[in-house]
Amino acid sequence: MIRLWGRPSSARTQKVLWTLSELELDFEFILASGTMGPGGHVSKGNKPFGVVDTEEYRRINPLGRVPSIDDDGFVLWESNSIVRYLAMQYGADLLYGNDIKVFASASRWLDFENNELLPPMHDLAMQLIRLPQERRDPSVRDAARQRFIAALRIVDDQLSRTRFMTGDRFTYGDIAIGIRAHRWVLFDLESPDFPNVRRWYAEVTARPAFHKWTAQPEHHLEG
């Protein structure tokens, strides 16, 4: 059985959780984090789930971060690599149509999420939820909002030409973008209307696998 170390409120972990749910794979979920715990973020004095700072875990992931997996002795860390591995190993037909060009296109959107959507969303999460009120900076929040909107314009343009992020079928590329879009909706910030994103978001969030781990607001608004 697959073992997964992570936390439900980690968007990186959610990428793996959603992928596992699409594939209907059984797994053991081990709560682990150096920054979040049952009470919230460490910046507010909460204790983290831990595990990541132990010698045992560092042998699994030398960075001491989440997520990591152990699939029958095969250990892997970095969320996007885990998603790609799970897609190739267990869901080639389901998650990219067993087509190398579709695989590459979906992979691009994982990189886009990591490089363009994650940094501003991390700043937004810190400024809106996780930092104590006295440590929040409206200028950082507003700059992050504008950066996210700029990236979302690219997503909307893509979706003006395709039903899903890579074409006419759902792929693992939709998972990464879908998580960020969902968190953006829950943050409820001022934003232009993106009609193509809105249409696509309604479709991907109707998937049963989305509702197992990703839909819950508490997994995105935990502070």
Portion of the chain with pLDDT greater than 70, in percent: 100
**Residues 35 and 66 sit within 8 Å (Cβ to Cβ):** no
Q: Mean pLDDT over residues 103-120, rounded?
A: 98
Given a cut of 80, whether residue 222 has pLDDT beyond it is no
Given a cut of 90, whether residue 36 has pLDDT beyond it is no
Chain segment 63-98, per-residue pLDDT in tens: 999 999 999 999 999 999 999 999 999 999 999 999
**Residues 4 and 20 sit within 8 Å (Cβ to Cβ):** yes
CA angle 4, 38, 138 (to 5 degrees): 105
Domains of the chain: 2-90 (3.40.30.10), 99-213 (1.20.1050.10)
Q: What is the mean pLDDT of the chain?
A: 96
pLDDT value of position 223: 65
Classify strands 36-37 and 40-41 as parallel, antiparallel or unpaired.
antiparallel
Q: Mean pLDDT over residues 104-120, rounded?
A: 98
Residue-wise over 145-163: b if at least 16 C-beta within 10 A, else e? bebbbebbeebbebbeeee
34 compared with 153, residue with greater pLDDT: 153
The structure tokens listed for 100 are 């190398």
The structure tokens listed for 108 are 């691009």
